[in-house]
Amino acid sequence: MTAAIIKADVTVVGAGLVGLSAVLAMHQLGYDVVLMDQHAQVETQFENPDWDQRIYAISPHNVSWLKSLNVWQHLDLARVTPVQTMQIWGDATPTPLNLNAEEVNADAMAFIIEEGALRQALLKEVQNQCLRMFTGVKAHSIRILPSQAELTLDNKQVIVSTLLLAADGANSRVRQQANIAVTQKEYSQTAIVANFATKLPHANIARQWFRQEKHSPDINAHCGILAWLPLSERNISIVWSAPTRYAQDLMQLDDLAFTQEVREAGNATLGEMTLLGSRAAFPLVLKKAEVLAQDALVLIGDAAHRIHPMAGQGVNLGFRDVIDLAQVLRQKHTYQALNDPALLKQYTRMRKADVLSMTSLTSGLYHLFESQHAVLHKVRNWGLMATNHSAFKKMLAKRAIAL
């Protein structure tokens, strides 16, 4: 029996946030796009009465881009929370570094949104555009050539496209089959995520503490990073990146004891707290693909890079992959192929600079606060306090908004 051949300009593998946005961006450029994902299609109605465990801080720049894709318009804005101020504490600073949207004439520093809500808004627009989707099927084999990419599905269909975008996550099967190596570094931290109701209003402030955790004889002052992100009304989502041994201890506590630990770690800033739903934990690791584009293949999102969540920039970085790729393709000559090596080299240069900048920032901060050296201890906290009284603060705020 002859296999059914499906042809497209662009195939996107992976129906996460970055993959769905890539489908819409490529369609907007006028290309014939196919989406393939091994998981079954999800519903387009987001009716979760509880808060998602996965929460993202979307930058204003990326919100504008999502609006241009007609995605943001599908969201229930009552469940989207603007961040007006970011407060950052060092491990020995009496007052936080304050970054305010108002000081740089912006509406917000970021917008907090649930993963499920944003994913379903993206999917709804994909369906509104009647784009082709193959869900609930796996790629049996992948063949990447200079001229095209071929995906043979387990139902015997073959998708042939000029360009293949791998958006299938940090453990990307497409990347593995293309034999693209990955540089990996363990952070020796585990991130705990949970949601809480608070007695006091959060005032649309995102709070972050760099901490020296000393709660176990096996942990001699290691870096921990606690973030409280505002949700609607008096609710927050927390991400606690703690040394793995301490994180394991935290996960074994009952709900009341865990809540007390979170409250005390945040200096009881919002008063009494009540845990909403369950908590989850996942190990933290830095991953970078050594090649971002190879023949007719381009890696985007977590398939290309995975960074520390302290800056909340993982999904924003993935969206910028798509934005930069769209920019390069928009400027191509009429007779240039989508997989023209010169185009993909240009894309790679653009993305490597951005990814290097973000990984240097997150890894640099991690190691700065991980160090137990007395001089670095003084310098890092002096630096935070000094920044709070300088023009450098405005530059940081503008940088955060422009991401």
> Are both 251 and 276 inside the same structural domain?
yes
Task: At 76, list the tokens.
Answer: 């229930």
- What distance in Å separates the CA atoms of residue 55 and residue 279, rounded to the nearest whole number? 13
Q: Which residues fall within 8 angstroms of residue 217, CB to CB, at 6 or more apart?
A: none
Q: Is the pLDDT of residue 376 over 50?
A: no
Is 56 a domain residue?
no
> Are both 279 and 337 inside the same structural domain?
no
Write the pLDDT tens digit of every residue in 103-141. Answer: 888 899 999 999 999 999 999 999 999 999 999 988 889
Is 53 a domain residue?
no
Q: Is the pLDDT of residue 385 over 60?
A: no
> Are both 335 and 191 inside the same structural domain?
no
Range of the domain at 39: 5-43+115-183+286-366
- What distance in Å separates the CA atoms of residue 283 and residue 298, rounded to the nearest whole number? 26
Write the pLDDT tens digit of every residue in 132-185. Answer: 999 998 888 999 999 999 999 998 899 999 999 999 999 999 999 999 999 998
Q: Which residues fall within 8 angstroms of residue 359, CB to CB, at 6 or more apart?
A: 286, 288, 305, 307
Single-letter residue type at 104: V
Is 59 a domain residue?
no
Q: Is the pLDDT of residue 301 over 80?
A: yes
Mean pLDDT of 24-52: 85
Per-residue confidence (pLDDT) for residue 3, from 0 to 100 = 67
Is 277 a domain residue?
yes
> Are both 303 and 290 inside the same structural domain?
yes
The full DSSP string for 328-391 is HHHTS-TTS-TT-HHHHHHHHHHHHHHHHHHHHHHHHHHHHHH---HHHHHHHHHHHHHHTTST
Write the pLDDT tens digit of every residue in 307-366. Answer: 876 656 679 999 999 999 999 999 999 999 999 999 999 999 999 887 776 665 544 444
Q: Is the pLDDT of residue 371 over 60?
A: no
> Are both 143 and 10 inside the same structural domain?
yes
> Are both 216 and 276 inside the same structural domain?
yes
- What distance in Å separates the CA atoms of residue 145 and residue 358, rounded to the nearest whole number? 31
Report residue 203 CA to chain centroid gap.
24
For residue 273, what is the domain's CATH number? Answer: 3.30.9.10
Is 132 a domain residue?
yes
Per-residue confidence (pLDDT) for residue 188, from 0 to 100 = 83
Is 163 a domain residue?
yes
> Are both 191 and 254 inside the same structural domain?
yes
Per-residue confidence (pLDDT) for residue 307, from 0 to 100 = 80
pLDDT above 70: percentage of residues in the chain: 81
Task: At 36, list the tokens.
Answer: 């393939």
Q: Is the pLDDT of residue 295 over 90?
A: yes
**Sorting pLDDT into bands at 50, 70 and 90, what band is 221?**
very low
> Are both 224 and 343 inside the same structural domain?
no
Task: At 82, list the tokens.
Answer: 């603007």
Asked whether 323 and 65 are in contact (CB, 8 A), the reply is yes
The phi-psi region of residue 105 (left if phi > 0; otherwise alpha if psi is between -120 and 50; otherwise beta) is left
Write the pLDDT tens digit of every residue in 182-214. Answer: 999 887 889 999 999 999 999 999 999 987 765
Is 21 a domain residue?
yes
- What distance in Å separates the CA atoms of residue 12 and residue 31, rounded to the nearest whole number? 12
The phi-psi region of residue 14 (left if phi > 0; otherwise alpha if psi is between -120 and 50; otherwise beta) is left
Single-letter residue type at 143: R
> Are both 275 and 331 inside the same structural domain?
no
Per-residue confidence (pLDDT) for residue 366, from 0 to 100 = 44
Is 358 a domain residue?
yes
> Are both 300 and 223 inside the same structural domain?
no
> Are both 155 and 35 inside the same structural domain?
yes
For the chain, the domain total comes to: 2
Mean pLDDT of 2-25: 94
Task: At 312, list the tokens.
Answer: 């909340």
Per-residue confidence (pLDDT) for residue 359, from 0 to 100 = 60
Rg (alpha carbons) of the chain, rounded to whole number: 22
> Are both 394 and 277 inside the same structural domain?
yes
